[in-house]
Structure 1
Amino acid sequence: MAKQTYSISDLAQELDVTTRTIRFYEEQGMLTPQRRGQERIYSPKDRVALKLILRGKRLGLSLAECKTLIELYDPQTGNQKQLNIMLGMIAERRAQLEQQLLDIQQMQLELDTAEERCRTALADSASKKTAAE
C-alpha cells in the first residue's frame, strides 16, 4: 500500500486555509514537505502538524507554542509528553483568559462610572441653563 501524501491544494481545501497560509508555516519550519520539482508533497505528519497549528491558533497559542507541540509529536509513545505539555498550555491560556475577563469587567465598571458622570454633568448643565433663562 502506498503511503498517503497530499498536495498543497489538497491540504488547503481539506483544512479550509489558503495555500499562502501553508507556505507561511513551511517558512517558519513547522511543515517540511518533500519536493518533486516545484511541487510540494506533504506527508501525513505534515497534515497532523498543520491540524495542530490550526487548533493551537484557535486556542490562542503562539506559533512558538504550536511549534513545541509539533516537535513533541510522537505517535509511537502515544504522545504522552506532547499531551502533558498541551495540558499545561491549556491551563495557562485559561488563566490568561480569566484574567482578561476580570480586566474587561473592571473596564466596564469604569465605563459605567464615566458614563454616569457625563450624564450627571450634562443634566446639571442643562438645569443651570434653564434656571438662568
Structure 2
Amino acid sequence: MIKPVPPDAEFTIRDLAAEFDVTARTLRFYEQKGLLAPKRRGAARIYSAADRARLLVILRGKRVGFSLDEIREMLELEAITSRDTHALEQTLARFRKRIEALQLQREDIEAAIAELEGGCQWMEEHLADREPSDDIKHRARAFEALAAARMNPWTGAAPETA
C-alpha cells in the first residue's frame, strides 16, 4: 500500500525508484515524455509530492493498459476546470471503454484458469489411479517367472510356481 506523504515532501530519484520498484531510467523516461517534471538542485532531480502522485497515476494507468498518451491526457485533467464538460465526457467515455475491455480480459483469464484447473484435476486423478491393466499385470507375471527361471541356476533357489 502506498503511504500518504505531506504536500511539501521531496524525493530523490532513488527514493521513488525504490518505493515504486522502478528503475531510475524509467523515471528519466517519464520525465523526457513530459509526464514528470522534477526540480533540479545541481545535477540532482528533486521530485515533489505532486510528482510522486503523478508517478502513481502513471504506473496504475500502465498496469491496466493505458498508453502513455492516454495517461498524459488523464494527468492534464488536473488542469481542466469542472466547466470543461466536453473534455471530462471524453475522458469518462475512454475510462468506461477501458473498464469494459478489462472486464472481458478478466472473463477470459477466469475461463483459462478454470480450464487449467480442470486439466490439473484430471491429471491428479489419473496419477492417483495408476492401477495397471490386466494385460500389463499378466505380462509382468510372465516376465517375472521367466526372469526367476533364468536366475535360479545362479542363485540355487527352487523354481517358483504360480
- Smaller-chain TM-score bracket: 0.5 to 0.7
Higher gyration radius (CA): 2
- State the distance in 1 between where 2:90 and 2:50 align: 19
- State the distance in 2 between where 1:85 and 1:5 align: 34
The verdict on how the C-alpha distance between 1:83 and 1:18 changes in structure 2, with shifts beyond 3 A counting, is farther
1:45 aligns with 2:42: no
Unaligned runs of 5+ in 2: 1-5, 109-162
Residue matched to 1:29: 34
| Residues 69, 86 of structure 1: 8 Å contact kept | yes
The verdict on how the C-alpha distance between 1:82 and 1:40 changes in structure 2, with shifts beyond 3 A counting, is farther
Kindly provide the amino acid, as one letter, of the partner of residue 67 in structure 1.
R
Select the structure with the greater relative contact order (CA < 8 A; seq sep ≥ 6).
Answer: 1
- State the distance in 2 between where 1:70 and 1:42 align: 16
The verdict on how the C-alpha distance between 1:27 and 1:99 changes in structure 2, with shifts beyond 3 A counting, is same
**How many pairs align?**
101
| Residues 61, 71 of structure 2: 8 Å contact kept | yes
Q: Compute the TM-score of the two structures, normalised by the length of structure 1.
A: 0.61
Indicate the structure with greater helix content. Answer: 1
Percent of aligned positions that are identical: 45
Kindly provide the amino acid, as one letter, of the partner of residue 94 in structure 2.
M
- State the distance in 2 between where 1:97 and 1:3 align: 36
| Residues 7, 50 of structure 2: 8 Å contact kept | no
CA root-mean-square deviation: 3.3
The equivalent position to 1:88 in structure 2, one of 71, 90, 93, is 93
Q: Compute the TM-score of the two structures, normalised by the length of structure 2.
A: 0.51
Per-residue deviation, 1:99: 6.7
Provide Cα deviations, 1:33-85, integer angstroms capped at 9, x if missing partner.
010111000011110111000000011111011011111226x97xxx99876
